[in-house]
Amino acid sequence: MNKKSLIQLRLNELTQPLLCNPDETLLQVVERYGYRMPRSCQNGVCQICKYTLLQGEALQRYPEQHLKASIGQSNEGAGILGLACTSVPVRDCWVNIKGLKCPGEQEVKRLNCDIAQVEKLNNDVYRVSLVLPATASQSVSYYAGQYLEIVMPDGQQAAFSIGSAPEAGRNLELHVRHASEGKLSTAILTHLQHSKNVEVELPKGDCFLQAANIAKDQTIILAAASTGFSQVKSMMEHLLASGVKNPIHIYWGARVAADLYLPELPKQWAAENDNVTYHPVVSEPGDSCGWTGRVDLLPDAIKHDFATLENVEVYASGSPPMVYALLDACEEKGLKKVQMHSDVFAYAPRPEK
C-alpha cells in the first residue's frame, strides 16, 4: 500500500497530517509520531483519552460506535466525542485533542499520588509504589528514565528516578535509599511509611530513552551505580515492552553484593531475552560479602569489555564522579560525549576539556 492510499489524520490546528496504518487506533497513530495525549487504561474504560472528531469517519470498538462528522463542523464545541484508544479511522479525519503534546513537549504537574506500598528491599533501600490520579485533568506522561520530585508538607523537595516504564500507566515505582544521618531522607521515608498519599512534581529530566528513536544497528549500554538502577529499570522495561532487539548491556555497580538490591530481576531479563547481557560489578566485596562474581570499578569494567564504543549509546545513572569517570573511560574507546546521556550533565556540569 503506498502512502497516498493511507488514511490521513489531522490533529488540532496542525496542518501536516499523520498517516494511519490499517487497523491502527487513533492513539497508536498519535504516539507513533511522537505526540502525547491524556490516556491510561487503553481499553476504553477510563475514558481519559477523549477527542473530538471534527471531520471524517472512525469506528470505535468500545464502546462500539460508528463516528462520523460532516465537513465544516469545526467551530468551537462542535464535533463528536470519541475515545482515541479504541477508535480506528476509516476515512481521512480531523480531530481536536485537549492536552495534546507535540514531540519533545512536556508539561510538569504537581499531583497527589496514593501510596500503595512501601517495601524494604535491603538494609537501606525501599521500593515505593505510587498510583497517579485517575482523572483526565491530572493525567501526566513521562519518558523512560525521567524522574520526579517528592514535595514534603514543609515545601522541601527531593528527586527520585521513576523506576517504572511509561507502559505501567498510573503505577509508579521509586527506589528510595534511607540515609540515616540525613534529616530530609529520614523525614521522607517516615512520611511515605505513615501517609496515604504524597505530593509529587513530574516529569523532570533530560536523560530519557525512546524506543522509536533507536537506530537498528546501535548497541545500548545501561550503566547504574547503587539506586541508579531505578532509572535503568524504567528504560529496560520500556525497551522490552517495545520489542527492541538491539544488543543491550546492563551494568550495575555496587560497593558490596548486598547493594544489588534486586539481584534476580536483571538476571531474568537476560535469561528471557537473547539480546540482553547483564554485568553485575562489585568494587569492595571484602571477606564477609560472599561475592564470587566480578570485582571491578564500573567504568573500568565497561572499558575492558568493549574494543570500540563508536556505535554505542550509553545511559548512565550514578554520582557525578562515577559518571564523569565513565565518560572519560568510554572516550578512550571512541565514544563521543553526545553518545552518553546522564542527568549529571545538567545538575553537575564540569568545565569542558
Query: Model confidence over 288-304: pLDDT tens digits?
Result: 778 899 999 999 999 99
Specify whether 23 is located in the same domain as 51: yes
Specify whether 70 is located in the same domain as 167: no
Domain end (from 156, 186, 204)? 204
Domain enclosing residue 79, as ranges: 3-96
Specify whether 283 is located in the same domain as 180: no
Domain end (from 73, 96, 119)? 96
* Residue 101 is assigned to a structural domain of this protein: no
The identity of residue 235, as a single letter, is: M
Specify whether 16 is located in the same domain as 39: yes
Is the CB of residue 44 less than 8 Å from the CB of residue 61? yes
Specify whether 218 is located in the same domain as 334: yes
* Residue 353 is assigned to a structural domain of this protein: no
Q: In whole angstroms, what separates CA 182 from the centre of its chain?
A: 28
Specify whether 310 is located in the same domain as 220: yes
Domain end (from 63, 96, 129)? 96
pTM of the predicted model, to two decimals? 0.73
Half-sphere exposure at residue 315, Cβ-oriented, CA atoms within 13 angstroms: 25
Q: What is the pLDDT along the chain (353 residues), one digit of tens a residue?
A: 445 579 999 999 988 899 999 999 999 999 998 888 888 888 899 888 999 999 999 999 999 999 999 765 444 456 899 999 999 999 999 999 998 888 877 788 999 999 999 999 999 999 999 999 998 778 888 999 999 999 999 999 999 999 999 999 999 999 999 998 999 999 999 999 999 999 999 999 889 999 988 988 899 999 999 999 999 999 999 999 999 999 999 999 999 999 999 999 999 999 999 999 999 999 998 767 788 999 999 999 999 999 999 999 999 999 999 999 999 999 999 999 989 999 999 899 887 65
